[in-house]
Chains A and B, each alone.
Chain A
Amino acid sequence: MISIKPHIAVIILLLTTNIALAQQPLIDASQQSRKFNMQFDVKKNHLSGMLISRKMPDGNVRLVATSYFGMSIFDFTLADTMVVNQCIDPLKRRSVLKLIERDFKPVFVDKSVLKRRKKHTNFEAYKRGHFLGKAKFDVLKDELSIRHSLLRMSIKINEL
């Protein structure tokens, strides 16, 4: 009689490994805060601030952004969906929040939604979406940028 237990074990191991690989972000959040200089450029407008990421005890990633003067910009939880804990009024639009969620989730939670375009020793390029939702993700050694060419918008993050 053939024992099925080893086969089940192999299947579970494969599933677990695939899930672990699929959940890899572009930037690992750790249980210690990681601090980044964040630049938002929308057309001619520029906003700089500090972005702080941390993996919380429940496994979700918390993102907090403040201006350098100290005023809070936003506080999001990246879970299955993005939870808006706090946000300044100019960002409180469904389309804007959706865009931020679609940009930050591959960066901090799961990059599997991205398609890799290029890979070199110190550089990786990814893309996602079409038309107005199209975004390019460039990952250099010290910097990550997200570009929405049609929207004339870009986000740049580099660790402090």
Chain B
Amino acid sequence: MHNTLNMRNIVAIILLLTSFALSAQNKPVANVDEFKHRLANEAKNIKSIESRFVQNKYLEVFDEQVKSTGTFRYQESDKISFAYDKPVDYLMVINGGRIKIEADGKKSTMNLGSNQMANGIQSMMVACVTGQLDAIESDYTVNYFENDKFYSVEIEPKKAAIKSYISNIKIELNRVTMMVETLRLTEQGNNYTEYQFQNPKYNVTFGQSQFSVE
């Protein structure tokens, strides 16, 4: 009797642990069209986003993470800004076909047309923020996964110019809000940069100069 009870307990524990493991695992999204439709629906009312972010850069050679923080801003239809405050003040703005970087009291701007990687990142981020993932499927292989908490979109560049820098992009969206919580850019090798977006505010009104690239 005592042995039977112990055996039952062991089986129950194993089942419980297994169910936890399975629920944490990603599995392919059952209905991708439904997911895309829901994403587009949630995103259509969002004209702008302002969010704090924590960036962790993982360096395989040192087995170390380097942390940065800042504020992310987006305004429809293609304006993106990353304003870092730690470890240094550093600003990157992408607006239309131009990118501006301000650092160390200096400013540099360039046309995105000449920078395939920045171009690719802009189109990919805008697609994720707006839910228009169809817009990037010609340039990226996109796969969709889900677990109890997140939808996970895994993106691989097709263009060699971007692939030489970024091998894989993974985006995690909160299942309830459909908002991007984590974005991970993995480079060739095992170095990656992960952005965790926190405390998002939607439809914020930005000043005219917020996304200036002059």
Contact = CB atoms under 8 A, between A and B. Distances in A.
Interface of A: 33, 35, 37, 39, 41, 45-46, 48, 50, 52, 54, 62, 64, 66, 68-72, 75, 85-86, 88-89, 160
A64 B64 CA distance: 12
Interface string B84-123: 1001101010000000010110101000000001000000
Nearest to A50: B66
A50 B86 CA distance: 12
A71 B90 contact: no
B137 interface: no
A44 to B, nearest CB: 8
B108 A69 contact: no
Chain B contact patch, size range: 20 to 34
Nearest to B194: A70
Nearest to A47: B108
B106 A52 contact: no
A115 B72 CA distance: 47
Contact residues of B: prevailing secondary structure: strand
Interface centre among A35, A45, A62, A70 (most CB of B within 10 A): A70
Interface string B55-93: 101010110101010000000000000101001101010
A156 to B, nearest CB: 8
A85 B61 contact: yes
B64 A69 contact: no
Contacts of A37: 87-88, 104
Given A64-B62, A68-B68, A68-B88, 6 more contacts: A35-B87, A46-B108, A64-B61, A70-B193, A71-B187, A160-B87
